[in-house]
Amino acid sequence: MQRIQALSNQFNPTIAPPAGNVTYPWVMKYPDFFPFEQVGNLKGKTVIISGGSRGIGLAIGIRAAKDGANVVILAKTVDPHPKLPGTIASACAEIEKAGGKSLGIQCDIRFEKDIQAAVQKTVETFGGIDIVVNSASAISLTDTESTDMKKYDLMHQINTRGTYLMSKTCIPYLKKSSNPHILNLSPPLNMQSKWFAPHIAYTMAKYGMSMCVLGMSEEFRNQIGVNALWPRTSIATAAVQNVLGGDSMMQASRNVEIMADSAHVILTSCHKKTTGNFFIDDEVLASVGVKDFSKYRCDPKFSDSQLAPDFFI
């Protein structure tokens, strides 16, 4: 709860920053620095990513590939989609171009047999699993009366159940890794009613992913690092373009690289000392010395104070 309060304080001008802290633009007034202990890079590590054919998941895969990682892309898109960029094949091509080895697997994480087969194929190909990134997610920002049960079930099957099932299936292999991590792209558990009332079904589904972090980080303490990562601002993805606000919201967003770079910091840190955290992207980078975040702005004409804040923080 202390970390949740610290996140809330970011937007409370009546609370003075602790002595000695650096003051940043409004998007990160009082950064909560974390003492990351880095243990090398991801060369030769096997990273399996759900929802990895586009957006943040793909960006995390490309960043890992730059180290020479084996990146496994789990996704549903084989043929090009009219509104969504990227396919499994195009994602694998980007991984290879970045310097990694790729394996693309068509997989619907709602189904246990799909995940079991994908994990088995990964282990057969690369010999094990070091990192799981739960990126796949479904979104419908509808209120209770407007949310049909098909949408409700989809969000919970992909977000909460899919994350739980992916993690559960990979855990026996993660335990054999020298520095295993599970990273869920989910928000801090901020229990203010304002984050539930407009879209309770979506919030429940995303918070289910975060509850996996809360529980599994303690269940597997000293065995697997389990953390969440969430952006402080809107991120320029297909979901933002198609669901949340179109071109104007894209302009007021940061690019996917800020999530990829911050994920890399987490995934290259000691799993025993970095676990049970609900990280925010720019705080992660600030913790390792980054002070200029301008390169992450989609539109350089927008200042940090003009960026759109994300949900839940």
Q: Calculate helix-pair angle for 88-98, 55-66, nearest 10 degrees.
A: 30
Does this model's pTM top 0.85? My answer is yes
pLDDT in tens, 59-115: 999 999 999 999 999 999 898 887 778 899 999 999 999 999 999 999 999 999 999
Q: What confidence score (pLDDT) does residue 126 get?
A: 98
Question: pLDDT for 212-252, tens place per residue?
Answer: 999 999 999 999 999 999 999 999 987 777 777 788 889 99
> Which residue in 114, 90, 119, 110 sits closest to 102, CA to CA?
90
Q: How far apart are CA 289 and CA 278, in angstroms?
A: 19
Cβ neighbour number for residue 233 with a 10 Å cutoff:
24
3-12 residue pLDDT tens: 443 444 443 3
- Among candidate residues 30, 152, 202, 296, the one labeled active-site is 202
Looking at residues 261-276, what average pLDDT do you find?
98
| Spatial distance between the Cα atoms of 190 and 15, rounded to a whole number of angstroms | 18
In the chain, the amino acid numbered 177 is S
**H or E segment and range at residue 65:** helix 55-66
Phi (first) and psi of residue 50, to 5 degrees: -80, 145
Could you report the per-residue pLDDT of 162-189, keeping only the tens digit for each? 999 999 999 999 999 999 999 999 999 9
Q: Does 32 have pLDDT greater than 90?
A: no
The answer to whether the beta carbons of residues 276 and 220 sit under 8 Å apart is no
Residue 296 falls in the annotated catalytic set: no
Q: What percent of the chain has pLDDT over 70?
A: 90
Instruction: Rounding to the nearest 10 degrees, give the CA dihedral for residues 28, 32, 37, 43.
Output: -30
